[in-house]
Homo-oligomer: A and B are copies of this chain.
């Protein structure tokens, strides 16, 4: 099993602020795990008791609303941490994490890392900055959900995915999502998401190769009303 102190992934998250000693201690108790596409990493209401460091792959964080629909709140990719919030407040997760493709993660038990959070100010300040960023993004999502049309939200989601997670060599979005996933991101019915994407296709804003989506006119998408 790899050693945390030598792991390049940590450069991308708050773990980089831990000392070599701290990392070596964590390395001893961490466990590595492979998660298959579609597998649930943790459920809503489940006690996580630690934090996941995503070494490879992507997962969605979603929450079931009372009417039975799933809402995707955030996506977490390679390099990021999963379960930070539960780590901090000690509560069970309020979100479900599901792998969107095959993933490789390291699990660090709460008991080990919480010490560092409470004693290493550099580390906790780093986590703090991470959360501040999350919170800002959440505010933006709230405003978009509340004030923009389904068309606009879907257009912006495509742009967000394009800019944040990148594209494959052929220009298609690197994250492969079902139409249902798109619907659950923008908070609409699956049929509505399908309809809007079809319209985008007709308007020449995107093209599709099977399930893959390629943005053809990003400026046009930005101008969607």
Which residues in A have some Cβ–Cβ distance to B below 8 Å?
A: 63, 65-67, 69, 71, 73, 84-85, 88-89, 94-95, 117-122, 124-125, 127-129, 131-136, 138-148, 186-187
Contact = CB atoms under 8 A, between A and B. Distances in A.
Given A66-B148, A95-B139, A119-B121, 7 more contacts: A65-B148, A71-B143, A88-B128, A118-B121, A134-B135, A138-B142, A142-B142
Contacts of A69: 147
Given A94-B139, A121-B119, A88 B145 contact: no
Q: How many copies does the complex hold?
A: 2
Nearest to A187: B146
Contact of A71 (B66, B138, B147): B147
Contact of A141 (B67, B142, B147, B148): B142
- Of the candidates A69, A71, A121, A139, the one having the most CB atoms from chain B within 10 angstroms of its own CB is A139
Nearest to A63: B143
A-B interface, 10 closest residue pairs, ranked by CB to CB distance from nearest: A146-B187, A138-B138, A145-B145, A65-B147, A88-B132, A71-B143, A131-B131, A89-B132, A85-B132, A124-B124
